[in-house]
């Protein structure tokens, strides 16, 4: 009697375990199609397949993107690179020279930069300076030294010396008046401005740098 009960209990537990295994296998079979349906044939998600299908190619990796953006430190065609560098440097120098000639503060050096130096240039350029042609006269004296008429040469030399003295006197008077005007306008005058203006009076107007920005007789601002 007892043996029969034990056999019945054993067979019952075996049947329960068998049914549990059957239910587990069935649930696995149900879940498998869902996984296959959510993923592509190669195991990639369906969204990735859709994105790749839209672009026509797979998304490049980060390493591939960095390699595409990387440029060589040394160009392959060095001759062409040097030519381009020379052209760029020539254009930069041309812009700097044009800016300096026009009085652009971005291209002026320490000697010419600043509102006071600009005022001094305009003051000199707005008047007629007898010292503008001193260089021409010095060249004439140099050529006269080769002539045999020494008496005439000495006379011309003394005339030129007198002209140079007048040029210096004119530059001194001009710089004093300019200095007074700058004190009224700026309060204090930058050091070396009078000498800067005097040296400009001994330069031919067309050869001055920066080039004159005012006409003769025009009052500087």
pTM: 0.59
Q: What is the mean pLDDT of the chain?
A: 76
- Please tell me the distance from the alpha carbon of residue 67 to that of residue 72, in angstroms, as a whole number: 11
DSSP tag of 58: P
pLDDT in tens, 25-41: 444 444 444 444 444 44
pLDDT at 158 over 90: no
Among 181, 213, 204, 193, residue whose Cα is nearest residue 113: 193
Compute the half-sphere exposure of residue 74: CA atoms within 13 Å on the CB side of its CA.
2
Residue 220 CA to residue 125 CA, distance in Å, equals 9
The yes-or-no verdict on residue 138 having pLDDT over 90 is no
Over residues 69-93, the pLDDT tens digits come to 765 556 667 777 788 888 888 888 8
Calculate the alpha carbon distances from 168 to 4, 132, 159, 173, 198 in Å. 143, 11, 15, 9, 8
Tell me 205's DSSP state: G
Encoded tokens for 58: 């797979």
What DSSP state is assigned to residue 30? H
> Cα-atom radius of gyration of the chain, to the nearest Å?
47
Given a contact cutoff of 8 angstroms between Cβ atoms, the answer to whether 155 and 119 are in contact is no
Tokens 């381009």 label which residue? Answer: 84
């Amino acid at each position: 009697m007892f043996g029969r009960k034990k056999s019945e209990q054993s067979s019952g537990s075996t049947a329960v375990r068998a049914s549990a295994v059957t239910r587990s296998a069935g649930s696995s079979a149900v879940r498998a199609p869902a996984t296959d349906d959510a993923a592509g044939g190669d195991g990639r998600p369906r969204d990735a397949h859709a994105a790749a299908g839209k672009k026509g190619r797979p998304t490049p990796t980060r390493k591939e993107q960095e390699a595409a953006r990387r440029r060589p430190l040394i160009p392959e065609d060095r001759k062409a690179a040097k030519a381009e560098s020379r052209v760029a440097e020539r254009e930069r120098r041309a812009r700097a020279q044009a800016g300096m000639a026009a009085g652009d503060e971005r291209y002026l050096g320490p000697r010419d930069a600043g509102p006071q130096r600009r005022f001094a240039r305009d003051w000199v350029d707005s008047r007629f300076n007898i010292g503008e042609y001193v260089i021409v006269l010095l060249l004439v004296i140099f050529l006269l030294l080769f002539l045999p008429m020494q008496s005439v040469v000495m006379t011309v030399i003394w005339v030129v010396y007198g002209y140079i003295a007048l040029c210096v006197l004119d530059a001194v008077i001009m710089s004093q008046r300019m200095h007074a005007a700058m004190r009224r306008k700026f309060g204090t005058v930058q050091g070396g401005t009078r000498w800067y203006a005097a040296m400009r009076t001994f330069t031919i107007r067309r050869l001055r740098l920066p080039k004159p920005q005012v006409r003769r007789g025009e009052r500087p601002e």
